[in-house]
Structures are given as structure tokens and as C-alpha cells.
Chains A and B, each alone.
Chain A
Amino acid sequence: MKRIVVVSQDPLLTTLADRLLSPHFRTLVLGGMVSAVDSIYNDIPDLVIAEIAPGDGGMGESINTLKEDPMFNQLPILAVIGDRPPAAFWEGLLVEDYLLKADLERDLLARVRLALSRAERVVEINPLTRLPGNISINRQLEDRLSRGEVFAFAYADLDFFKPFNDKYGFSRGDEVIKVTGRLILNFVKSMQPRGSFVGHIGGDDFVFIMDAGLIEGACGEIIRAFDQIIPTLYDQEDRDKGGVESVSRQGVAGFFPFIGISIGVTDTAGRGFSHFGELTGAASEMKHFAKKAKGSSYSMDRRTGQAT
């Protein structure tokens, strides 16, 4: 049975919603967004219905905070409002749909069913990290380039990932990918909450976009956190040894150190990139420089001039 969380302080609304929904769904009624967030963190529901009272900026803010995290980004939110608000009201508010209080009795069940079925349709996100994939990444780059925006673009991938995967199996390898995605996301978003972007190309390849002045700091933080956490994902014995006995990508057996992360960065300031392919090419070239270094590292493209 699908689970729905209803957040409102209006007893009329909650009683009505409960009466209409509980025959079909597991319905949980909560009085405020703080307890709702707590409950959602505990167990993600399939849909949230939230009343946004006029002038209640806190509710909108809580919803946005929740939805900014990729784990909850796919959670549909149906807003219930008293009166039809001005168009500007919806700007920047991360909800999927709305319903007027006056129409609840008539429309609620149908709207809920539609919202649930919409959410089931596949969205282009990586199932492991829940980060956007190639289509969104390319669109981000194209849009920014065509607007002539100045930004820095980073391309990251892992070293010695395959020996880890071979030794411990796929599901342990997936944990490494999830750790990587979370760390990149959290440091990029905490250092630049607005206008930044994190995408997951697939496998162990990630990209991110930030302001040129902030990206070097973010790379440093990501690497530091990565190198702290990764060893804890090894078995104690291998953690003590500093790596695993396994087989490399080239099929060579040997001892492989802890997984590292290599990041290549390029920016659009000094160079005229006309197409996003040139940009990703330059970043991936930088990444290969970074890969040559021992352990985790990043490498910045300091060249200027037209890319070839």
C-alpha cells in the first residue's frame, strides 16, 4: 500500500483528507513540517500533501530544503492552498501540483492518483546516486555555453576501483560510488548553494559545475573527505594493509592501494569553447594529468586561448 503524509494544521482539511485517502493508502497526518521532515527521513512516503497557508514562508522553505537533496527530489509534493495565489507565488517553490481547499472533496483522490502515477514514470536520474545523468549534464553545459556564462567544469573519476570491486563484489563497489556522489554533492552545494550542478555520467565518472573562484576549494574538500572515508569501506585486514590483493583493469594481479579520486578542472573564462564537447574534452584531459599523480588529486587547466 502506498504511503501518503498529510501536513496541515487545519483540522477540517486533515479530517477530510484522512477520510478520502485512508481507504486506499496508508495515510499519516502531521501538524507541522518539522515533524513531517522527521517522519519522511525515517521512511520516505510516496507522496506528501502539504497545506501552504498564506504568508507561511517557513513551509515553502522546508519543502525546498527537503527537495534539494537528491534522495528526496523524486518525492512528489501536492500543495493545498486556500485561494488561487498570484503566479509569482509558485516561483522557486519545489512542488509538483496544487489543489484548492474548496476542491478537495471533489478532486483530491484523482489528483493524488495522478501524482503517484506521474512519479512512477522513469526520470533520467542515476538509480544509485539519484544524481542527474547525461541528458541533463549536456543540457546544463549547452545552456550555459549558449548564454556565454563563465563557469568552471570538473570531471572526476576513481583510481583502483576495479580491484576493489573484484575483491569485494558489486554491492560493496556500489557503496563506493554512492559515497563519491554524496561527497561531491554535499561539498559543492555547501560551498555554492546556488547555480552549481552535480551530475553522474555513469560508473565511476562524475561531473560538477561551479563558479571558477570556488571550484578549487571544493576539489580540496572533496578529496580530503574521500580519502578519510574510503579506507573505512575496506575490511579491517585490508584497511590495516592499506589496500587489496586483486587484479587491475589490464588483468595484472598485484597489490592495489586504497581507491583514490582524480579530478580534472577547466573553465570557460580564458578560453572560447564553442561546443560542450570541447569543454568535456579539456576537463577529461586535465583528469588524466591528475591521474598520473600518486593518490587522490586534482588538476586545473591553466591554459588560455581558443580550444582546438
Chain B
Amino acid sequence: MERIDIRTQRAKLENINALPTAPGTFKRISQVIGKPGITLSEISEFVSKDPALTTKVLKMINSAIYGFPGRISSVSHAIMLLGLNVVKGLLLGISVFEIMQQLMGGLWDHSVGCAAVARAIAEKKGIKDPEEVSVAGLLHDIGKVIMVMEYAPLYEEAINQAASRRVPIFDAEREVFQETHAVVGMWLAEKWRFPPNLVDVIQYHHRPGLTKKAPLETAIVHFSDLLVRARGFGFSGDSLVPAVHPPSFELLALSEDDILEVLDKLEACRDEEGGLTL
């Protein structure tokens, strides 16, 4: 079995500027941009349902050009600060993923589902800006996108390993790459100067006990990840539902009714999802 030590590739991976998007989103870009009189909130709505577009917008507003490094973690805020023309230019520059479309499509659904669930939990918990938590849910697995983009055959190998040995994907990743998608995602999130809370959620969503900066957000995304998997919504590399981290679950203190309500939000998202990704 082929293996690499992805830690030696960090500098190379940090040069990646953008993620490719799903074909379904890609097709809708020109339609959205060309719509006469489109408002900033309509564009925000569209961007916040796609990990690649969201990444692009957040990376731009947190870049040195605008001078808000690590400050802006909400898509609608980013778009109000960038303005319509800049956002249109950014969206036009996006590319589409051409390899492993089925896997990427599954990952997209997983991410969008996580965003919806994370937002619903954040609202339940009365968090001031639920959108920030929703963004964290959307972007928690960007490390996987990077790994698939750069090492498609190896990542496939990791998926096969996870399936045949019935281990979680991050264990298989560690076997094949020596490091997991959580860390790869953190490298890019830091390089792109994402806000520290968002970086923490990405890095620790599978080990929520380790976060120092964002315990509540990380717990929310950790638990959302689990719920979305349990519901079989999308695909994130394996078919196991990992055990919940008990302190996170306690921190969230969700009742059974809360969880049922949150799951309803996910179902609503499944209904409107039809054809967004592929």
C-alpha cells in the first residue's frame, strides 16, 4: 500500500488558493450574477450554501488587501464589506471539481447538512451570531477537499481502508497520510487568515476536548457532524457514526425534543437540496 507523509507537503498545500465547487453550484453562478438588481442578501444566501464560494469570500475579506485579518467569520458580513462587484468577480473566478465527482458531491452534501444542523443548534443555544457557527459547519471538512484534490488515488485508498477494516476515515487518513483532514484543514484555514475560532473548530472537530478558543462552537460542529452522518445525509469518507464526545454533549445540554427539531431542519435542507451539488 502506498503512503505519504503529508506533513512534508504542508508548504506546497498552503499555496492552494481556492477550492473547486460542485457542478450544480457552478452552473448557477452566472445565472445568479447576471440577475438584474440582485441584492447583497440574495448573493449571501447563495454563497453560504457552498464551501468553495464561502472559502473564497472569507479568504478575500480576511486578506491583507482589505485589512481585516482574522476578523470576519460571517458570509453576509464579508459580502457587505466586499461589495457586489468584488463578489461577482470572485464568483466568476471559481472552478469546478472534475475528479471524483461522486465522492466530492457526497462531501458537499455532508458539509451543507452540517451547516444547517450547526445553525439550528446555535439558534437553540441562543448564540449571538448563529451564522458564524453555520460557516464553521460548512467548512469543518475542507481538509478532505484539499486531500482529494491533491491526492485522489491515495484518498480513495484511505476510503477503501476505512470501509474494509471498519475504522473511521480519520484513522485511515492517519495510516495513509500520517495526518488527518482536521490538521490539513487547519493549515489552510490559518494560511487564509480565517478567524481563530473558525480555525479551532476545523482543527478540533473530531477532538473537541482540545479546543481552547471555541469550546461551544466546536462542540456544536462535532455533534452536527455526528447527527448528519447518523441520518445518512451525504457522504464524508466512511459509513460509521463515531461515538459522541461526552463532555461536548453535556456542554450542549440538548433535550430529545431539541434534537428532533434540529433534525427537522436537516430534512428541510434535504428537500431543497435536490440537484444543488451534482
Contact = CB atoms under 8 A, between A and B. Distances in A.
Interface of A: 34-35, 37-38, 41-42, 44, 65-66, 68-69, 71, 128, 174-175, 178-179, 182-183, 185-187, 189-190, 225, 228-229, 231-233, 239-240
A239 B85 contact: no
B67 A232 contact: no
Given A34-B92, A182-B83, A44 B77 contact: no
Interface string B83-98: 1111011101100000
A217 to B, nearest CB: 12
Contacts of A65: 85, 88-89
B89 A186 contact: no
A38 B81 contact: no
B84 A232 contact: no
A186 B81 contact: yes
Contacts of A41: 60, 65, 86, 89-90, 93
Interface string B37-74: 00010000000000000000000100101111001111
Task: Bin the interface of chain B by size.
Answer: 20 to 34
A293 B83 CA distance: 29
Nearest to B72: A232
A182 B83 CA distance: 8
16 contacts: A34-B93, A37-B89, A37-B93, A38-B89, A41-B89, A42-B17, A65-B88, A68-B85, A179-B81, A182-B81, A182-B83, A186-B40, A225-B77, A232-B72, A232-B73, A233-B71
Contacts of B60: 41
Interface in B118-137: 128-129
A229 B83 contact: no
Contacts of B129: 232
Contacts of A190: 40, 83-84
B85 A38 contact: no
Contact of B65 (A44, A179, A231): A44
Contacts of A175: 67-68, 71
A185 B66 CA distance: 13
Highest count of chain B CB atoms <10 Å: which of A182, A187, A231, A240:
A182
B2 to A, nearest CB: 33
A186 B40 CA distance: 10
B81 A183 contact: yes
A133 to B, nearest CB: 18
B80 interface: yes
A44 B60 CA distance: 12
Contact of B84 (A37, A179, A183, A186): A186
Given A71-B86, A178-B66, A229-B77, 7 more contacts: A37-B92, A38-B89, A38-B90, A41-B65, A225-B80, A228-B77, A232-B74
Contacts of B74: 232
B77 A35 contact: no
A231 B81 contact: no
The 5 tightest CB contacts between A and B, nearest first, are: A38-B93, A186-B83, A37-B89, A182-B81, A225-B80
Contact of B67 (A174, A225, A240): A174
A118 B103 CA distance: 52
Contacts of A225: 77, 80
A268 to B, nearest CB: 27
Contacts of B85: 65-66, 68-69
Contacts of B67: 128, 174-175, 178
A178 B88 CA distance: 21
A253 B211 CA distance: 35
Given A229-B81, A232-B74, A232-B129, A179 B89 contact: no
A64 to B, nearest CB: 9
A158 to B, nearest CB: 16
Contacts of A44: 65
